[in-house]
Amino acid sequence: MTDQTPVLRLEGVVKTFPGVRALDGVSFDLRPGEVHALMGENGAGKSTLMKVLGGIYDPNEGQIYVAEEPVTIASPMQAKARGVVFIHQELSLADELTVAENIWLGELPLKSFGRVDWNKLYADTDAILETLNVGFDARTRVGDLSIANQQMVEIARALTVDPRAVIFDEPTASLTDAEKVVLFEVIADLQSKGVGIIYISHRMEEIFKITDRISVLRDGQYRGTLNTAETNEEEVTQLMIGRKLDLSRNESHHELGDVALEVRDLSCGELFKDVNFQVRRGEVVGFYGLVGAGRTEIAETIFGLRDPSAGQILLNGEEVRIHSSMDAIARGISLVPEDRKGQGLVLGMNCRDNMTLPQVDDLTAGPFVSDGAEVAIFDQYRDKLDIRTPGWRQTVGNLSGGNQQKIVIGKWLSMHPEVLIVDEPTRGIDVGSKSEIHNLIRDLAAQGYAVIVISSEMPEVLHVSDRIVAMFSGKVMRTFTSEEVTEDSLIQAISGLEGDKVA
Amino acid sequence: MNTQNRKDLLKQGAIWGFIVLELAFFSIAGSFLSVTETAFLSLDNMLLLLQQSAPIGIIALGMTIVMINGNIDLSVGATFALAAIVMLDSLTWPFMQALGDWAIPLSWFFALMTGVVLGAVNGLIVWKTGVDAFIVTLGSMLGFRGLVFMYNGEQPTSHLNWTLVDFAEAQFLGLSTASWFLLGVALILWLLMTRTVHGRNAYAIGNNRDAAVNAGIRVGPHFLLNFILIGFLAALSGVVFSAGTGSVNPNDGMLYELWAITAVVLGGTKLAGGYGSIVSTLGGVIAIQLLRKGLGHIGAGTEVVNLVIGLILIVVLFLDRQLNRKGKEELKI
């Protein structure tokens, strides 16, 4: 292996921001034809490193070599010209434009007078799409594609040049299992052409499935490179967070109370049909299924954000009609939404104001908002949930993902709910904080809350739930207890395979 | 995909459907309510309508580009007035008078350059400071209008040049000069937005600026070019308009920015940018002018016209929202 010249090599790269050393002497090399995982907790410096490679940041020290040639990369275009291509995590597409225009964004083929050469554009694009084996053509509007297909468009961008190195940043975040297979095929294909691939992901199972080597960053420092074949999850995790991690099945069981929430034959148009389930006090019910299976939509219906087309919702045995989120909150239902930054928090506001947002109406002294009462609530939940922030004045946008999520959870706990719905509680949260959130969810159930956890990650569902509801395209396929569930039966259920049904 | 295409067609055809509806309504209502004996739907009337919609129309076409790009320009009305003043006033300068009729193209050049410079000022500020275009052009709207008043105080600027008047009133193939300018500008801008890289990049920038930056598109120069374009077009509009009248008031062109934006939005261009079309804006311009003329035809006053246009604008945006909803199952706000 050592005789191959690395396609990309970094030596002692340092990037400082005022007050922070975001990258502290990072060195690593990418060999042709390898898949090299880059891992680290959120804030470890992965994105900064990528931005340095992509020419968005200038490194303060250190040197980047492309094919052993020292280079300075000053713009995304230069990076691309040298064959270093990025597949961004957050889709970076213009959804009103066609697939072809998006793929060649910034470098549309030209004719005289600055005119676009449409024929060449469409022909080139269709050629690329053919190699990707996708079901749409160059003229399709990107906004009409599914998220997964949009991801494929993003990937197609990498193929417009002859890439030396392709950097995938969390490419599977929004893909279903079937689509992941296609992605891995594309990666394998690139690999066989001698392209070096940097693969950034939080998902261990993928890392171990497709990568050759793993490099780990922690706090901006390079912690070492491991050969994937010679290591295991535990070693990688330890390198990442400096301690061990508990990823076992949920074993603890506590006393279950009465049924807090029951749903009978709930339907909402085409989104989901005839959904039945119960949640008891002290119980965690996990909802597992593919993206688009209707899990989030059920949560939104219970929280009053959608009107059900049929069926009943019973709270403590009484049928209720929930017309708005205000209704839901008044009846003790809280929803920690899927998109923490977009739906859960006002990023520009401080910690205290975010936490007291739903009840600020009641926290008044005369005509003014009572500062003292707000701070008291914040302090209470900061201690209870162990939220690490310099103070309540800190803007939540500056907190880490785990602490942000705790603020959202604290916000709803302060409303004294009976039913707590948590949608994708650890999406985009690093491994260390993940287990903290999991423990928090278990604790909350032990305290008598009825908790619903919606998640797309199997280890998470297995870890926190007392019962698991498996969903497939808007229908409940099967409900498992934590004793009887196996990974195989769960996968079968969410893929729409009936399996042996337990009555 | 098929339903999507149909929906797109519906969206783009909606404004023309609305125009047909207006025509039908005013022809029928006109036959009962009209204060004059002339028919509404006569060729002469329609040609006049096109001519009358030219001043705001030319501006609205430029506004479409700026709005697709994700910006807005509120200073066009002031640019319109300043360019008109520059043209009329420059004709009275001694060396210009010595040139005879050759002074006319030169005066146009001065006026159009005024627009280009003012547009470039807007574009450079937006590019270099990163301040929102709304704020920048709100400032320049007041500032440019200040320049207009500094030029000649409260007095109107007048200069009657008969060659100019003849040119403005000329007709070619049945269309007046102003109409030709409107259609010509529409054609050029349509080609620009659909056929050139600059146009497509403008869509991309308005649609997703981060994506455009990541793809290495230089956002600033595109902004600048589009602001220069709309400055030029606002000046062109001022020149075409004042050529016919030979006189311009310092208050001329006020609220033109809002009429232009109304026409653009009525044509379906997104306020947030990234979506819109020149042809639809042309439809929006004609629809507004039809409404003004039609309501006048059946005896309604200006105040009623404004009220109705305002209502229609809100109804259109509401309908547009309904069209884009996913039915009853969607999230409530």
Per-residue confidence at A499, pLDDT binned at 50, 70, 90?
very low
Residue A347 predicted with pLDDT over 70 = yes
* End-to-end C-alpha distance for chain A, whole angstroms: 56
Of the residues A176, A210, A241, which one is the last residue of a structural domain? A241
> Averaging pLDDT over each range in A488-502, B155-169, B319-333, which range is the top one?
B155-169
Q: Which of A80, A105, A306 sits opposite B329 (nearest CB)?
A: A306
Tell me, yes or no, whether A113 lies in a domain.
yes
Chain-chain contact of A76 with B208 (C-beta, under 8 angstroms): no
pLDDT of residue A308: 85
pLDDT of residue B285: 93
Q: Do A82 and A176 reside in the same domain of the chain?
A: yes
pLDDT of residue A154: 83
Chain-chain contact of A309 with B203 (C-beta, under 8 angstroms): no
Q: Do A208 and A332 reside in the same domain of the chain?
A: no
What element of type H or E holds A61? Answer: strand A61-66
Tell me, yes or no, whether B12 lies in a domain.
no
**Nearest-Cα residue of chain B relative to residue A271:** B329
CA B236/CA B244 separation, integer angstroms: 13
Compute the mean pLDDT over every residue in chain A, rounded to the nearest whole number: 81
Cβ(A252)–Cβ(A456) under 8 Å? no
Is A169 an 8 Å CB contact of chain B? no
Residue A432 predicted with pLDDT over 80 = no
A143-173 burial code (b ≥16 CB/10 A, e <16): bbbeebbbbbbbbbbbbbeebbbbbbbbbbb
pLDDT of residue A502: 42
Cβ(B236)–Cβ(B182) under 8 Å? no
Q: Which residue segment(s) compose the domain that B305 sits in?
A: 38-321
Residue-wise pLDDT tens digits, B68-125: 998 999 999 999 999 999 988 888 888 877 777 788 888 899 999 999 999 999 999 9
SS3 content of chain B, % helix, strand, coil (to 5): 75, 5, 20
Q: Tell me the average pLDDT across B35-51.
A: 78
**Beta-carbon contacts of residue A398 (< 8 Å; ≥ 6 apart):** none
CA A48/CA A169 separation, integer angstroms: 12
Q: Do A272 and A382 reside in the same domain of the chain?
A: yes
Residue A243 predicted with pLDDT over 80 = no
pLDDT of residue B111: 92
**A74-78, A152-156, A321-325, A349-353: which range is least confident on average?**
A74-78
pLDDT of residue B190: 92
Q: What ranges in A59-107 are assigned the alpha helix state H? A: 76-81, 99-103
Tell me, yes or no, whether A225 lies in a domain.
yes
Cβ(A22)–Cβ(A221) under 8 Å? no
pLDDT of residue B325: 59
Nearest chain A Cα distance for residue B5, angstroms: 10
Residue A498 predicted with pLDDT over 70 = no
CA B108/CA B104 separation, integer angstroms: 6
Q: Do A400 and A454 reside in the same domain of the chain?
A: yes
**Domain CATH for A114:** 3.40.50.300
pLDDT of residue B227: 94
**Domain CATH for B181:** 1.10.3470
Residue-wise pLDDT tens digits, B254-302: 889 889 998 998 888 888 888 888 999 999 999 988 888 888 877 777 7
Cβ(B65)–Cβ(B229) under 8 Å? yes
**Nearest-Cα residue of chain B relative to residue A103:** B215
CA A462/CA A478 separation, integer angstroms: 15
Tell me, yes or no, whether A300 lies in a domain.
yes
B-interface mutation test, from A96, A107, A151, most B Cβ less than 10 A away: A96
What are the helix and strand counts (H, E) for chain A?
Answer: 16, 22
pLDDT of residue A1: 44
| SS3 sequence of A238-288 | HHHHCCCCCCCCCCCCCCCCCEEEEEEEEEECCCEEEEEEEEECCCEEEEE
Q: Do A272 and A237 reside in the same domain of the chain?
A: no
Q: Do A226 and A267 reside in the same domain of the chain?
A: no
Report how far apart, in Å, the C-alpha atoms of A437 and of each of A291, A403, B169, B279 are: 22, 9, 76, 54
CA A410/CA A378 separation, integer angstroms: 8
Q: How many residues does chain A have?
A: 503
pLDDT of residue B80: 93
Q: Do A228 and A264 reside in the same domain of the chain?
A: no
A window 61-100, beta carbon within 8 A of B? 75-77, 80, 86, 88, 92-97
Q: Please state the ipTM of this predicted complex.
A: 0.73
Tell me, yes or no, whether B328 lies in a domain.
no
CA B125/CA A291 separation, integer angstroms: 44
Query: How many domains does the structure of chain B reveal?
Result: 1
Chain B residues in contact with A96 by the CB 8 A cut-off are 203, 207, 274-275
Closest CA to A171 of A160, A187, A159: A187
Nearest chain B Cα distance for residue A250, angstroms: 34
Q: Do A433 and A296 reside in the same domain of the chain?
A: yes
Phi-psi sector, B77: left (phi>0), alpha (psi -120 to 50), beta: alpha
What element of type H or E holds B185? Answer: helix B177-195
Residue B225 predicted with pLDDT over 90 = yes
Tell me, yes or no, whether B204 lies in a domain.
yes
Tell me, yes or no, whether B329 lies in a domain.
no
pLDDT of residue A45: 77
Q: What ranges in A57-199 are assigned the alpha helix state H? A: 76-81, 99-103, 118-132, 147-158, 177-192
pLDDT of residue A250: 59
Residue A246 predicted with pLDDT over 60 = no
CA A290/CA A317 separation, integer angstroms: 30
Residue-wise pLDDT tens digits, B291-318: 888 888 777 777 888 888 888 888 877 8
Q: Which of A101, A140, A304 sits opposite B204 (nearest CB)?
A: A101
Residue-wise pLDDT tens digits, A166-183: 888 877 766 777 777 878
Q: Tell me the average pLDDT across A381-388.
A: 82
Residue A264 predicted with pLDDT over 70 = yes
Give the residue numbers in B contacting A (CB under 8 Å), as ranges.
Answer: 1, 4, 195-198, 200-201, 203-204, 207-208, 210-217, 274-275, 327-332
Tell me, yes or no, whether A362 lies in a domain.
yes
Tell me, yes or no, whether A249 lies in a domain.
no
pLDDT of residue B233: 95
Percent of chain B with pLDDT over 90: 30
Query: In angstroms, how far apart are the furthest CA atoms of chain A?
Result: 76
Of the residues A241, A271, A286, which one is the last residue of a structural domain? A241
Chain A residues in contact with B212 by the CB 8 A cut-off are 94, 105-106
Q: Which of B196, B204, B332 sits opposite A305 (nearest CB)?
A: B332
pLDDT of residue B331: 62
Of the residues A206, A241, A276, which one is the last residue of a structural domain? A241
Residue A171 tokens, joined? 């490419």
pLDDT of residue B34: 64
Chain-chain contact of B200 with A116 (C-beta, under 8 angstroms): yes
Q: Do A359 and A284 reside in the same domain of the chain?
A: yes
SS3 content of chain A, % helix, strand, coil (to 5): 35, 25, 40
Chain-chain contact of B216 with A106 (C-beta, under 8 angstroms): yes
Tell me, yes or no, whether A253 lies in a domain.
no
pLDDT of residue B327: 52
Chain B residues in contact with A294 by the CB 8 A cut-off are none
Tell me, yes or no, whether B189 lies in a domain.
yes
Chain A residues in contact with B217 by the CB 8 A cut-off are 105-106
**Nearest-Cα residue of chain A relative to residue B196:** A115
Tell me, yes or no, whether B63 lies in a domain.
yes
Query: How many domains does the structure of chain A reveal?
Result: 2
Residue-wise pLDDT tens digits, A107-158: 788 877 778 888 888 888 888 888 777 778 888 888 888 777 787 888 888 7
Closest CA to B14 of B275, B311, B279, B206: B279
Chain B residues in contact with A135 by the CB 8 A cut-off are none
Q: Tell me the average pLDDT across A51-70.
A: 82
pLDDT of residue A289: 81
Chain-chain contact of B216 with A270 (C-beta, under 8 angstroms): no
Residue-wise pLDDT tens digits, B157-206: 888 777 777 787 778 887 888 889 999 999 999 999 888 888 888 888 88
Q: Which residue segment(s) compose the domain that A480 sits in?
A: 259-494
pLDDT of residue A424: 85
Q: Do A210 and A335 reside in the same domain of the chain?
A: no
Residue A342 tokens, joined? 């977009």
Q: Do A235 and A267 reside in the same domain of the chain?
A: no
Per-residue confidence at B143, pLDDT binned at 50, 70, 90?
very high
Chain-chain contact of B207 with A76 (C-beta, under 8 angstroms): no
Q: How many residues does chain B have?
A: 333
Residue-wise pLDDT tens digits, A454-495: 987 777 888 888 889 988 888 888 888 888 887 777 777 777
**Nearest-Cα residue of chain B relative to residue A158:** B215
Q: Which of A94, A115, A306 sits opposite B203 (nearest CB)?
A: A94
